[in-house]
């Protein structure tokens, strides 16, 4: 393969010239929109994990066993994740056939409305078990719209991005995920200081938890207005020829590419669930940290992850996406699982939690650094939103039931150490997924012939 001339480095939005004038403004608007969209998406995803943890008494009967409470809490989170692949299929179809911007607006309006409805839910004392049932159902529908939102907004941002900056722009977009978690943790920490969670009739349990959900609905409204006023549809050559059934085309013509992405993303989501959903519970149950200490520790974990994403994005731009994912998967297996084990085996209290927690943040969820670039580079223009959305979301389902896998390790490992096994497995899957895939960093978004090994 011939080496491109230096001028190619400044090639644009996958076009022959660097973006300038009106196109430069559209690039910036699309990247800002993708960044805000991903932040709002992740803010909404993590709301029940952080915000509802001190308010479980509002939705559940007081006499439930600890194991039943844990399963119900995992189902609240899992229901959102399970809804996302369905949303990716539905909205990916419309993004590839009707347009990225229009599909994004519908998805954002949908999850903003559902988040607002969630903030208005009655509790167990009012409607019994219907309370947690409605919560799970609303989170499932919310997952459908959330799956649609990133399926449309992220490819739109990457299609506008200059080739030589896709790794950086992707990492800026995805760094908003741990940043969103950290923001939720900070808001929850502040509310807990003002309104301590002290029993089912305390102010936090009765209404304090609603405030972050209202913030999420407001953020969705801001995002909707931004896309409506500022973001433009990519040029026709960047979205490719329209196909009536992009999902069928993906499954029939590009099954190997989808399978490879599925392996990579299964590892990614498994590591994410161990970091975001299991670690807070173990900090409280095993290390016996207070609710405020757990929230602050998770804030540090996710702040460390957010700071690492741009470094990982630029690293992948320098050494290539394939090498990055092979190497990072090994880092998850060794450093990620090791940091988690050392934290749970330590008796250093809150200080140890903060120290090891920062390492956990860097070495469990860093896969997301360049993921927006990699998945959009991996699929051709005509099915890019569908490929990105299904590849990103389909792998959510199996890791979403992490609580059941951890229960299978009962009797083999102590409960607080079992998650390290799943973190190590996640790292192996990430490395394998990277190894099975091609290099993509030099792909031209408007030229499908530059996308390697698709079939």
- List the one residue out of 146, 9, 131 whose CA is nearest residue 91: 146
The burial class, CB within 10 Å (0-12 / 13-18 / 19+), for 6 is exposed
Rounded Cα distance between 388 and 384, Å, is 6
Q: In a 10 Å sphere around its CB, with 0-12 CB exposed, 13-18 middle and 19+ buried, how is residue 397 labelled?
A: middle
Contacts of 177 (CB under 8 A, 6+ apart): 38, 39, 42, 305, 306, 365, 368
* Cα three-residue angle 238-240-241, rounded to 5 degrees: 160
Do residues 34 and 171 make contact, with C-beta atoms less than 8 angstroms apart?
Answer: no
The predicted pLDDT at position 107 comes to 92
pLDDT of residue 20: 47
Separation between Cα atoms, residue 437 and residue 395, nearest integer Å = 16
The pLDDT value recorded for residue 373 is: 94
Rounded to whole angstroms, the Cα distance separating 380 from 452 reads 10
Picking from 287, 140, 113, the residue whose alpha carbon sits closest to that of residue 213 is 113
The answer to whether residues 345 and 413 touch, using CB atoms and an 8 Å cutoff, is: no
pLDDT of residue 415: 81
Tokens 């929850």 appear where? 188
Q: What is d(CA 121, CA 142) in angstroms, rounded to the nearest whole number?
A: 14
Tokens representing 239?
A: 């979205």
Instruction: Tally the residues of the chain.
Output: 455
Tokens of 376: 């959009």
Distances (CA, A) of 121 to 74, 130, 132, 207: 19, 10, 9, 10
pTM: 0.78
What pLDDT is attached to residue 242?
62
Ordered mean pLDDT values, 10 residues apiece, the chain (455 residues) = 39 42 76 89 84 83 72 80 87 86 91 93 87 91 89 86 91 88 85 81 87 93 92 64 79 93 96 89 84 85 92 96 98 96 84 90 94 93 88 86 86 87 97 96 76 58
State the pLDDT at residue 193. 85
**CA–CA distances in Å: residue 148 to residues 41, 175, 232, 292:** 10, 19, 18, 34
Q: Which residue has the tokens 């390697």?
A: 452
Q: What is the pLDDT of residue 12?
A: 37
Domains of the chain: 19-229+243-450 (1.20.1250.20)
- At 182 the pLDDT is 81
């Amino acid at each position: 393969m011939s080496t491109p001339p230096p001028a190619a480095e400044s090639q644009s939005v996958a076009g022959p010239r660097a973006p300038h004038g009106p196109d430069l403004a559209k690039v910036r608007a699309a990247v800002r929109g993708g960044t805000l969209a991903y932040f709002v998406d992740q803010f909404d995803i993590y709301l029940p994990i952080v915000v509802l943890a001190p308010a479980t008494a509002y939705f559940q009967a007081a006499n439930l066993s600890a194991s039943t409470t844990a399963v119900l809490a995992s189902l609240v989170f899992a229901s959102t994740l399970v809804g996302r692949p369905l949303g990716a299929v539905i909205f990916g179809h419309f993004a590839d056939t009707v347009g990225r911007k229009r599909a994004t607006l519908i998805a954002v309006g949908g999850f903003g409305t559902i988040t607002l409805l969630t903030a208005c839910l009655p509790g167990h004392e009012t409607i019994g078990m219907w309370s947690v049932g409605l919560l799970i159902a609303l989170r499932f529908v919310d997952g459908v719209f959330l799956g649609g939102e990133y399926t449309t907004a992220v490819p739109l941002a990457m299609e506008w991005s200059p080739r030589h900056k896709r790794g950086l722009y992707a990492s800026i977009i995805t760094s908003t995920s741990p940043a969103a978690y950290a923001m939720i943790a900070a808001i929850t920490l502040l509310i807990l200081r003002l309104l301590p969670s002290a029993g089912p009739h305390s102010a936090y349990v009765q209404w304090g938890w609603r405030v972050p959900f209202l913030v999420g609905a407001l953020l969705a409204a801001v995002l909707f207005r931004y896309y409506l006023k500022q973001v433009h549809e990519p040029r026709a050559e960047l979205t490719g020829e329209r196909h009536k059934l992009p999902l069928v085309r993906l499954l029939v013509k590009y099954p190997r590419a989808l399978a490879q992405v599925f392996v990579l993303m299964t590892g990614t989501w498994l590591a994410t669930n161990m970091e975001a959903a299991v670690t807070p519970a173990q900090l409280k149950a095993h290390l016996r940290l207070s609710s405020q200490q757990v929230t602050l520790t998770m804030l540090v974990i996710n702040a460390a992850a957010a700071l690492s994403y741009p470094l990982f994005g630029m690293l992948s731009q320098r050494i290539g996406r394939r090498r990055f994912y092979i190497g990072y998967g090994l880092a998850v297996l060794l450093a990620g699982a090791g940091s988690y084990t050392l934290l749970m085996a330590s008796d250093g209290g809150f200080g140890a939690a903060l120290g090891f927690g920062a390492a956990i943040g860097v070495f469990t969820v860093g896969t997301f650094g360049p993921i927006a670039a990699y998945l959009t580079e991996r699929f051709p223009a005509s099915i890019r939103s569908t490929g990105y959305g299904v590849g990103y979301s389909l792998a959510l389902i199996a890791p979403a039931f992490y609580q059941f896998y951890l229960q299978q390790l009962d009797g083999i490992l102590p409960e607080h150490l079992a998650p390290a096994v799943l973190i190590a497995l996640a790292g192996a899957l990430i490395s394998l997924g990277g190894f099975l895939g091609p290099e993509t960093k030099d792909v031209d978004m408007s030229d499908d012939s530059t996308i390697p090994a698709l079939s």
